[in-house]
């Protein structure tokens, strides 16, 4: 039998490999670090996972992280209910929030349509979105989803689903990112940047 790692090491590597974005070499490196490094303190990782599982939940309304039934965003009476910004993931909310230009409310879908991964409309918080629109009656729903194939399909699906509610549906702009040169931009981005051009000084 060829030499291999002991079972307990292989299991540790296998568990780290399951994390998103971790390949076989990274998993080995992390496992080794957890075992060997003087400051690895893996018990802290273990207790952070347990703590998060015990305390953390998703806000019943918007799907952001919360340690009680509703999150600070939804509990904040100072925020406008007129604009509702729809995002894929709860981790999309803080980057948008940090721009400082949006003071409305958010709604995280908890993912995007991805039939190959078994994620259809029922797996996303779309029914909840429609219910919120009926109750909160925002004047605008802003779709802030990704520009990949699944993000686009999700935006398209939502626009169709929301049409009967009569709410004004917009989406965030697509174009050249800050710091991005025309030379290095892909064709689709350039196509959209051109198609969405505006009068200089106004956009």
Residues of the shown chain interacting with its own copies in the complex, contacts defined by CB under 8 A:
2-9, 11-12, 14-16, 18-22, 26, 28-36, 40, 42, 44-46, 48-56, 65-67, 72-73, 89-91, 93-94, 97-98, 110
| β-strands 57-58, 168-171 pairing | unpaired
Cβ contacts of residue 52 below 8 Å, gap of 6+?
none
Shortest Å distance, C-beta 182 to its own copies: 26
Residue found under tokens 């981005």 = 189
Shortest distance in whole angstroms from residue 120 CB to its own copies: 14
- For the bound state, the minimum distance from the C-beta of residue 95 to its own copies, rounded and expressed in Å, comes to 10
The nearer residue to its own copies, 50 or 139, going by C-beta atoms, is 50
One DSSP character per residue, 102-151 reads --SEEEE-SS--BGGGTB-GGGTTHHHHHHHHHHH--SEEEE---SSHHH
Residue 185 CB, shortest distance to its own copies, in Å, is: 21
Burial 167-191 (b: 16+ CB within 10 A, else e): bebebeeebeeeeeeeeebeeebee
Of the two residues 87 and 169, which places its CB atom closer to its own copies in the complex?
87
Rounded to whole angstroms, how far apart are CA atoms 68 and 57?
7
Q: Please state the closest distance from residue 168 (CB atom) to its own copies, in A.
A: 25
Nearer to its own copies, 2 or 201 (CB): 2
Residue 90 or 162: which CB sits closer to its own copies?
A: 90
- C-beta of 103 vs 156, nearer to its own copies: 103
């Amino acid at each position: 039998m060829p030499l291999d790692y002991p079972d307990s090491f292989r299991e540790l590597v296998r568990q780290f490999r399951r994390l998103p974005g971790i390949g076989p070499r990274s998993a080995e490196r992390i496992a080794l670090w957890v075992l060997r490094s003087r400051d690895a303190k893996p018990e802290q990782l273990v207790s952070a996972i347990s703590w998060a599982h015990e305390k953390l939940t998703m806000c019943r309304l918007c799907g952001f992280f919360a340690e009680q039934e509703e999150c600070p965003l939804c509990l904040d009476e100072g925020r406008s209910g007129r604009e509702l910004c729809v995002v894929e993931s709860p981790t999309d909310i803080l980057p948008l929030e940090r721009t400082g230009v949006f003071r409305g409310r958010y709604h995280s879908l908890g993912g995007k349509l991805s039939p190959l991964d078994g994620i259809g409309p029922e797996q996303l918080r779309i029914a909840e979105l429609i219910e919120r629109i009926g109750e909160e009656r925002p004047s605008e729903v802003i779709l802030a989803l990704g520009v990949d194939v699944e993000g686009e399909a999700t935006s398209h699906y939502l626009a169709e689903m929301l049409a009967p509610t009569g709410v004004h549906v917009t989406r965030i702009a697509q174009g050249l990112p800050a710091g991005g040169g025309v030379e290095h931009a892909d064709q689709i981005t350039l196509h959209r940047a051109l198609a969405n051009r505006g009068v200089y000084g106004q956009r």
